[in-house]
């Protein structure tokens, strides 16, 4: 079995009940819903299909709801053809009326956006296909010079990589979508364009307002895709529940030559802070149209596994590609082959943020499992924290986790190496561990004479942790 999890984005070609089941059987552990597309009716139907597939397959499937985030878009009255060195004006939408409709003027739809722009700052249009450099600041607009040839079209995305923006992390649309996510009880919410810890705290406050402080809420996955996020990387990851290496927009804000190193840096920081981490964007992009990946894509997936990412993500490949099931199956094969190799065992030494008594206890479980070469580590984890902490060490033994929380059961589907099992309603740890071992034997996962390490996490009813030690299956 694979340890690194697969996230598949659902879309026009993959949102049907039958296709969702096929993708899960092929190896998808988590389904991503991109809230930049689709409507609530479609999403509700898809969520129901995912829940049904999970029930039929008797395994957890998590849902990652990816919010659109603050977007800046162009407003032009006609497509503007530019050549390198061509000068044009960029203004805010409210100022567009000052100029003739025949003037080559690019308006931006976000109020106040140009107030922080300075001479020398870049304005990148349509995923960086067209670059503009600001040459002059004027009242109500800026003048900019094109860095390359191209055509500026209407409603295309704009990025200001050199400008310190002060946009709210949640737009009106995002707040409506977040309320939907809370009603549906989804497991993860992805935050686009995170720039500071304050952005994450703002979202947590919004969830408290909508659902109430005591309500169960999705875990926050911060997408690292802005230069500002890199400046506060450790703090942002620590404030988040999960991180994503969002290489698309990150590759626009930062030089392409640095992306591979930044990926390793983000993964290392996530491991240090014991946060699951996802590698995303164009991992198998050629399979949108072709039945086989390129050799470079195979190496990309394999290297993410060797870097010890918790999950690798597919976007357009499964949302709109010709071969969604084949793409997931191919990715699964690459993961399994890589994890079988000795290179997957290379683990970089990190200054781990594991200072508490609890973390030390969990480390001892890992060391015990390695010393005795046990078949599996059996964990009772109600919140999922103990399972995530043990997963962080990337042990050789299987991580078999029992929980009585449906939310935890689903959330752990994204975490490296964790195989979650649900025992709803059972709150007695001693009873639960016996039921768990019996269930694993009946499934053929554990056999007589297998050795396992057993560890109880904390629960509200039984607040003390407990290391049972090594047990032999009879």
Helix (H, G, I), strand (E, B) or coil at 184: helix
Distance CA 349, CA 369 (A): 19
Selecting among 17, 51, 59, 73, the annotated active-site residue is: 73
Selecting among 4, 9, 163, 281, the annotated active-site residue is: 281
- Host H or E run for residue 123: strand 122-125
Relative to beta strand 87-92, strand 418-422 is unpaired
Distance CA 134, CA 117 (A): 8
Give the number of residues written for the chain: 474
Is 472 annotated in the active site?
no
Distance CA 22, CA 122 (A): 44
Relative to beta strand 219-224, strand 188-191 is parallel
Distance of CA 73 to the CA centre of its chain: 24
- Host H or E run for residue 426: none
Helix (H, G, I), strand (E, B) or coil at 382: coil
Q: Are 225 and 246 in contact (CB under 8 A)?
A: yes
Is 275 annotated in the active site?
no
Give me 224's structure tokens: 């690292």
Distance CA 208, CA 89 (A): 43
Selecting among 2, 32, 226, 332, the annotated active-site residue is: 32
Selecting among 21, 223, 275, 375, the annotated active-site residue is: 223
Is 464 annotated in the active site?
no
Q: Which of 421, 416, 418, 414 shows the shortest CA–CA distance to 32?
A: 414
Q: Which of 12, 75, 19 shows the shortest CA–CA distance to 39?
A: 12
Distance CA 470, CA 451 (A): 7
Is 388 annotated in the active site?
no
Furthest-apart CA pair in the chain: how many Å? 84
Name every residue whose Cβ is closer than 8 Å to that of residue 42 and which is 6 or more positions away in sequence.
15
| DSSP assignment of 13-45 | TT-SHHHHHHHHHHT--EEEEETTSS-HHHHHH
Name every residue whose Cβ is closer than 8 Å to that of residue 17 and which is 6 or more positions away in sequence.
49, 52, 53
Distance CA 285, CA 318 (A): 10
Q: Which of 310, 247, 300 shows the shortest CA–CA distance to 273?
A: 310
Q: Are 283 and 9 in contact (CB under 8 A)?
A: no
Q: Give catalytic residue positions.
A: 32, 73, 223, 281
């Amino acid at each position: 079995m694979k340890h690194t999890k697969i996230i598949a984005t659902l879309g026009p070609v993959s949102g049907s009940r039958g296709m969702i089941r096929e993708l899960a059987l092929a190896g998808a552990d988590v389904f991503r819903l991109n809230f930049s597309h689709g409507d609530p009716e479609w999403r509700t139907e898809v969520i129901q299909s995912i829940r049904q597939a999970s029930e039929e397959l008797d395994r957890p499937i998590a849902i990652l709801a990816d919010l659109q985030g603050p977007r800046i878009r162009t407003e032009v009255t006609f497509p503007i053809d530019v050549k390198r060195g061509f000068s044009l004006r960029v203004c805010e939408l409210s100022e567009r009326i000052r100029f003739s409709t025949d003037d080559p003027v690019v308006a931006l739809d976000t109020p106040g956006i140009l107030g922080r722009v300075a001479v020398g700052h870049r304005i990148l249009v349509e995923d960086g296909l067209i670059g503009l450099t600001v040459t002059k600041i004027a009242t109500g607009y800026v003048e900019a010079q094109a860095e390359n040839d191209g055509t500026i079209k209407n409603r295309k995305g704009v990025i200001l990589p050199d400008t310190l923006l002060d946009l709210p992390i949640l737009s009106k649309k995002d707040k409506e979508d977040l309320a939907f996510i809370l009603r549906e009880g989804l497991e993860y919410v992805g935050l686009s364009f995170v720039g500071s810890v304050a952005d994450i705290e703002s979202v947590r406050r919004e969830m408290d307002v909508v659902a109430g402080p005591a309500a169960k809420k999705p875990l926050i996955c911060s997408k690292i895709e802005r230069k500002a996020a890199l400046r506060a990387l450790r703090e942002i990851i620590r404030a988040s529940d999960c991180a994503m290496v969002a290489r698309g927009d990150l590759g626009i804000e930062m030089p392409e030559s640095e992306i591979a190193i930044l990926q390793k840096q983000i993964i290392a920081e996530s491991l240090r802070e014991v946060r699951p981490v996802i590698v995303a964007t164009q991992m198998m992009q050629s399979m949108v149209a072709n039945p086989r990946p390129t050799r470079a894509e195979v190496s990309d997936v394999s290297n993410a596994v060797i870097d010890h990412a918790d999950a690798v993500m597919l976007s357009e490949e499964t949302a709109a590609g010709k071969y969604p099931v084949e793409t997931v199956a191919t990715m699964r094969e690459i993961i399994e082959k890589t994890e079988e190799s000795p290179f997957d065992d290379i683990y970089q030494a990190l200054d781990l943020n594991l200072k508490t008594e609890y973390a030390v206890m969990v480390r001892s479980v890992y060391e015990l499992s390695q010393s005795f070469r046990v078949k599996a580590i059996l964990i009772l984890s109600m919140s999922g924290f103990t399972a995530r902490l043990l997963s962080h060490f990337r042990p050789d033994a299987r991580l078999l986790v029992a929980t009585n929380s449906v939310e935890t059961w689903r959330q752990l589907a994204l975490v490296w190496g964790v195989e979650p099992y649900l025992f709803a309603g059972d709150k007695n740890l001693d009873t639960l561990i016996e039921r768990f071992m019996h269930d694993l034997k009946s499934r053929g996962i554990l056999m007589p004479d297998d050795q396992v390490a057993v560890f109880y996490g904390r629960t509200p009813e039984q607040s003390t942790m407990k290391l049972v030690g090594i047990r032999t299956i009879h």
